């Protein structure tokens, strides 16, 4: 059983982050979408119309929908079409990501590239495994490190301490966080997911992508994002906060039924995607 004092300390840390630094608010458009879909009378067209009102946002979402992520054979030219083809949850994930794009860009050099790389790798692994939810898993990959954005923007001093320690002692980013802060970006990600009312299926990979063996709700999604994170670090695509490449957790191999020999074909599928994702590196 967990030590009650520790549980209390962590609750306190969670409260502190929330109270003192205020988590970023959910982008207005995402909050609105969540509200209108609760109405059973809402149609795909209503949601499409709402997103389309914001032209900059719609353009970003369409660019992502037409990017190498999804490898569509025909162009998606409207938000309504994206909703029909990719599904509501995926479009919502793209809206969320596009609305926090500037925030991600400002937070840490290379984190956006790390995030889209991890998204692409998550999608590729899911398709390689023959899953029919590759698009949703991709969104989980896109959001997995959002906790680092909060750390960089809301707790800049703590972030600097972490980054210095990573560099000085050659540690993993989350190791340095755990040593210095008593909480890490994965936990912050979970609080953010809760604060933004994201589904638990996305919150779990945010919380457990460094410990996939603990996942209970979507162990496959969490393991895929975990493996994708390792692969994208090994490829040196973007910057996840440290220059280390962890090994894949034995539990993730087992949960996904992957073998080391699967790596090469996965990398071969990923390579062309990463090359064509370059146009998303500046999503203006
Ligand atoms: Fe992470
Ligand atoms: Fe990561």
- Report the CATH number that the domain containing residue 194 is assigned in CATH: 1.10.3210.10
pLDDT, residue 8, reads: 63
The count of structural domains within the chain is 2
Tell me the per-residue pLDDT of 24-67, one tens digit each, with 9 for 90 and over.
Answer: 777 788 888 878 877 888 888 899 999 999 898 999 999 999 99
Give the Å distance between the CA of 32 and the centre of ligand 2.
29
Q: Which residues contact 128 (CB under 8 A, 6 or more apart)?
A: 262, 265, 266, 269
* Ligand nearest to the CA of residue 237, numbered in listed order: 2
pLDDT of res. 20: 41
Q: For 175-213, how does the pLDDT look when each residue is reduced to its tens digit (9 = 90+)? A: 999 999 878 999 999 888 888 888 899 999 999 999 999
CA 45 – ligand 2 centroid, Å: 35
Last residue of a domain, one of 80, 99, 118: 99
| Ligand index nearest the alpha carbon of residue 205 | 1
Report d(CA 276, CA 265) in Å as an integer.
18
Q: Is the dihedral of CA 44, 46, 52, 58 positive or negative?
A: negative
Domain presence at residue 54: yes
Q: Are residues 158 and 245 in the same domain?
A: yes
Position 16 in a domain: no
The last residue of a domain, from among 99, 117, 148: 99
In this structure, which ligand is nearest to the CA of 110? 2
**Residue 15 placed within a domain:** no
Instruction: Give the number of the ligand closest to the Cα of residue 111.
Output: 2
Counting ligands in written order, the one closest to the CA of 185 is 1
Residue 19 lies in a domain: no
Regarding whether 134 and 42 lie in a shared domain, the answer is no
- What's the gap in Å between 79 CA and the centre of ligand 1? 30
- Supply the range of the domain harboring residue 76: 25-99
Do both 169 and 224 map to the same domain?
yes
Segment 76-93 shows an average pLDDT of: 92
* Residues 155, 113 share a domain: yes
Nearest ligand to the C-alpha atom of residue 188: 1
Predicted pLDDT of residue 10? 58
- 207-235: pLDDT as tens digits: 999 999 999 999 999 999 999 999 999 99
Query: Is the pLDDT assigned to residue 266 strictly greater than 90?
Result: yes
The rounded Å distance from CA 150 to ligand 2 centre is 14
Tokens of 48: 């499409």
Q: Ligand 2 center to residue 48 CA distance, Å?
A: 31
Q: Which of 99, 131, 163 is the last residue of a domain?
A: 99
Is residue 5 pLDDT above 80, yes or no?
Answer: no
**pLDDT for 244:** 87
Give a yes or no: residue 8 inside a domain: no
> For residue 1, what pLDDT band results from cuts at 50, 70 and 90?
very low
* 115 Cα–ligand 2 center, Å: 7
Mean pLDDT along residues 125-142: 96
* 210 and 85 in a common domain: no
pTM here is: 0.89
Asked if residue 84 and residue 122 are part of one domain, the reply reads: no
Q: Is residue 36 part of a domain?
A: yes
**Distance (Å) from CA 49 to ligand 2 centroid:** 33
Buried (b) or exposed (e) across 90-125, using 16+ Cβ within 10 A?
bbbbbbbbbbbbebbbebbeebbbbbbbbbbbbbbb
Within a domain: 1: no
| Shared domain check, 272 and 146 | yes
What is the predicted pLDDT for the residue at 71? 87
pLDDT of amino acid 7: 61
| High-pLDDT (> 70) share of the chain, % | 92
Cα of 52 to ligand 1 centre, how many Å?
Answer: 32
pLDDT at 233: 95
Query: Which ligand lies nearest to the CA atom of residue 245 in the structure?
Result: 2
Give the pLDDT confidence score for residue 39 in this predicted structure.
82
Give the number of other Cβ atoms within 10 Å of residue 140's Cβ.
Answer: 30
CA distance 102 to 153: 11
88 shares a domain with 123: no
Confidence of residue 172 (pLDDT cuts 50, 70, 90): very high
For residues 185 and 141, state if they share a domain.
yes
d(CA 210, ligand 1 centre) in Å: 6
CA atoms within 13 A on the CB side of 118: 30
Give me the percent of the chain exceeding a pLDDT of 90: 61
79 and 115, same domain (yes or no): no
Is the domain of 124 the same as that of 40? no
Is residue 3 situated within a structural domain? Answer: no
Model confidence over 100-114: pLDDT tens digits?
Answer: 888 888 888 899 999
201 and 218 in a single domain? The answer is: yes
Residue 21 pLDDT > 60, yes or no? no
């Amino acid at each position: 059983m967990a030590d009650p004092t520790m549980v209390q300390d962590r609750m306190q840390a969670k409260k502190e982050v929330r109270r003192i630094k205020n988590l970023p608010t959910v982008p207005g458009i995402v909050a609105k979408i969540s509200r209108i879909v609760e109405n059973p009378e809402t149609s795909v067209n209503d949601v499409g119309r709402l997103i389309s009102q914001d032209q900059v946002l719609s353009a970003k979402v369409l660019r992502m929908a037409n990017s190498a992520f999804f490898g569509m054979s025909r162009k998606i030219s409207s938000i309504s079409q994206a909703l029909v083809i990719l599904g509501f949850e995926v479009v919502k994930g793209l809206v969320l990501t596009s609305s926090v794009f500037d925030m991600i860009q400002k937070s840490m050099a290379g984190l956006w590239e790390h995030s889209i790389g991890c998204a692409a790798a998550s999608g590729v692994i899911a398709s390689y495994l023959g899953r029919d939810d590759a698009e949703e898993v991709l969104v989980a990959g896109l959001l997995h490190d959002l906790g680092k954005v909060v750390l960089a923007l809301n707790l800049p001093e703590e972030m600097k301490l972490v980054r210095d320690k990573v560099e000085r002692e050659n540690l993993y980013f989350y190791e340095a966080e755990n040593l210095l802060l008593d909480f890490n970006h994965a936990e912050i990600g979970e609080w953010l997911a809760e604060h933004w009312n994201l589904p638990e299926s996305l919150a779990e990979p945010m919380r457990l992508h460094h410990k996939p063996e603990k996942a209970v709700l979507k162990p496959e999604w969490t393991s895929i994002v975990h493996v994708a994170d390792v692969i994208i670090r090994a490829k040196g695509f973007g910057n996840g906060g440290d220059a280390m490449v962890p090994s894949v957790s034995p539990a993730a191999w087992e949960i996904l039924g992957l073998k080391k020999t699967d790596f090469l074909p996965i990398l071969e599928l990923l390579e062309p995607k990463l090359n064509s994702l370059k146009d998303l590196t500046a999503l203006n």
